[in-house]
C-alpha cells in the first residue's frame, strides 16, 4: 500500500517526502514525548536556525540583513520572526528602561513634584519635561482631579501610581513605532543604492532586535550584579552604564551598515550618526508622546 505525505499528499518512497521534505508521519509522532523531544532539540541544536541567527545577530552585525536582501535566506530565521522572538523575551521580562518612561519623566515639573511621595527628592524633576508635556498638562490636571473628588490633594500621586503600573507593558508594545520611521531614514541615506523600502525595513528589524536583546541582557546582568555586590551602585554609577549602552548602539550601527550596505567605513560612520540622531528624534517627538497618551488612557479608562 502506497503511503502519501500528510503535508502535500505526494507518494512517499522513504522517510522524507521528495516534494516538501517533511518526515513520514508515524503514530509515535502523536505522543507528548515526541513534542517534548522536538522542544528539547530546538533548544539544544546549536546548528539550528534559531541559535545560528541569534549568534549572527549579536556577533556579525549586518550579515543577516545582507544575506536576506541578497536572497540567501535558508540558513536564517526571517527578520520578522527573529524580531518577534526577541520582542517576546523583551515583553515578558520585567524591565524599566528608557522606553518605559515613568510618569515623573513625562509630565511638567509642577505635576511631577505634586505626584511625588512624601520625602522624595524632587530636585531631579526640574529637567524632566518632554516636548509634549505642556500640551498634555491640562489633561493630566483633569484626570488627577477625577481621582481626588474630596480634594485631599493626592490625585496626582494616585494618577502616577496608575500610570506607572501600566507604563512598562504599553511601552513594550509600542516600541515597534520606531521601525517605519527609522527605515525611511535608511532609505534616504542609501537612496543611491536603489533598494526597496522593505529591504531597509529588514535592516531596521535586525537593528532593533539587537537593541532590545542588548538592553534586556544589560539590565538583567546589572540586576544580578547588584544582588551579588551590595556596593555595586557606588562602584559603578548608572550614568556609566548608560554610556556603555550608547557606545554599543553606535558601534553596532557602524558595523551593521558597513556590512549590510557594503559601504566604506567613512560613510558607515556618518550614516550611523544620522541613524542614531533620527532614532532620538523619533523617540522624543513621536514615540514618547504616543506612549504617554496611550498609557494614560489605558490607566484611566480600562480595568
pLDDT in tens, 222-279: 777 777 777 766 666 666 777 888 899 899 999 999 999 999 999 999 999 999 999 9
Q: Is the pLDDT of residue 96 over 60?
A: no
Please compute the mean of the pLDDT values over residues 284-299 and round it to a whole number: 94
pLDDT for residue 291: 93
- Burial letters for 167-196: b for 16+ Cβ neighbours within 10 Å, e otherwise? bbebbbebbebbbebbbbbbbebbeeeebe
pLDDT for residue 1: 59
Structural contact between residues 203 and 256, judged by C-beta atoms closer than 8 angstroms: yes
Please compute the mean of the pLDDT values over residues 50-79 and round it to a whole number: 91
pLDDT for residue 44: 57
pLDDT for residue 134: 92
Cross-strand bridge partners of residue 11: 4
pLDDT for residue 45: 59
Q: Is the pLDDT of residue 65 over 70?
A: yes
Query: 82: Cβ–Cβ under 8 A, 6 or more apart, which residues?
Result: 53, 54, 57, 64, 76, 205, 206, 209
Structural contact between residues 159 and 140, judged by C-beta atoms closer than 8 angstroms: yes
pLDDT in tens, 19-37: 777 777 776 766 767 667 7
Q: Kindly report the backbone phi and psi dihedral angles of residue 11, in degrees, each rounded to the nearest multiple of 5, phi listed first.
A: -60, 135
User: Where do we find the cell 498634555?
Assistant: 136
pLDDT in tens, 143-182: 999 999 888 889 999 999 999 999 888 888 888 899 999 9
Handedness of CA 194, 175, 210, 44 (dihedral sign): negative
pLDDT in tens, 97-123: 566 788 998 999 999 999 998 888 878
Domain boundaries, the chain: 1-44, 49-99+171-301
How many Cα neighbours within 13 Å face the side chain of 136? 24
pLDDT for residue 246: 86
Amino acid at each position: 500500500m502506497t503511503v502519501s505525505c500528510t503535508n502535500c499528499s505526494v507518494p512517499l518512497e522513504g522517510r522524507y517526502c521528495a516534494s516538501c521534505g517533511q518526515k513520514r508521519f508515524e503514530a509515535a509522532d502523536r505522543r507528548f514525548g515526541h513534542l517534548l523531544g522536538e522542544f528539547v532539540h530546538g533548544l539544544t541544536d546549536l546548528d539550528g536556525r534559531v541559535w545560528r541567527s541569534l549568534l549572527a545577530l549579536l556577533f556579525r552585525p549586518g550579515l543577516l540583513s545582507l544575506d536576506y536582501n541578497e536572497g540567501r535566506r535558508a540558513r536564517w530565521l526571517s527578520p520578522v520572526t527573529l524580531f518577534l522572538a526577541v520582542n517576546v523575551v523583551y515583553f515578558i521580562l520585567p524591565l524599566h528602561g528608557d522606553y518605559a518612561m515613568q510618569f515623573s519623566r513625562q509630565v511638567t515639573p509642577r505635576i511631577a513634584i505634586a505626584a511625588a511621595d512624601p520625602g522624595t527628592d524632587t530636585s531631579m524633576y526640574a529637567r524632566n519635561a518632554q516636548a509634549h508635556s505642556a500640551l498634555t498638562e491640562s489633561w493630566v490636571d483633569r484626570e488627577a482631579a477625577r481621582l481626588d473628588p474630596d480634594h485631599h490633594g493626592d490625585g496626582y500621586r494616585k494618577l502616577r501610581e496608575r500610570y506607572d503600573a501600566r507604563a512598562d507593558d504599553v511601552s513594550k508594545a509600542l516600541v515597534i513605532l520606531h521601525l517605519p520611521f527609522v527605515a525611511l531614514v535608511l532609505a534616504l541615506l542609501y537612496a543611491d543604492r536603489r533598494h526597496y523600502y522593505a529591504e531597509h525595513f529588514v535592516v531596521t528589524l535586525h537593528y532593533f532586535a539587537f537593541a532590545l536583546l542588548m538592553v534586556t541582557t544589560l539590565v538583567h546582568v546589572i540586576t544580578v550584579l547588584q544582588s551579588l555586590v551590595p556596593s555595586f551602585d557606588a562602584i559603578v554609577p548608572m550614568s556609566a552604564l548608560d554610556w556603555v549602552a550608547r557606545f554599543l548602539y553606535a558601534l553596532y550601527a557602524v558595523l551593521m551598515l558597513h556590512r549590510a550596505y557594503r559601504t566604506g567605513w567613512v560613510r558607515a560612520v556618518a550614516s550611523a550618526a544620522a541613524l542614531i540622531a533620527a532614532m532620538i528624534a523619533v523617540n522624543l517627538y513621536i514615540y514618547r508622546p504616543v506612549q504617554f497618551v496611550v498609557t494614560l488612557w489605558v490607566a484611566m479608562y480600562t480595568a
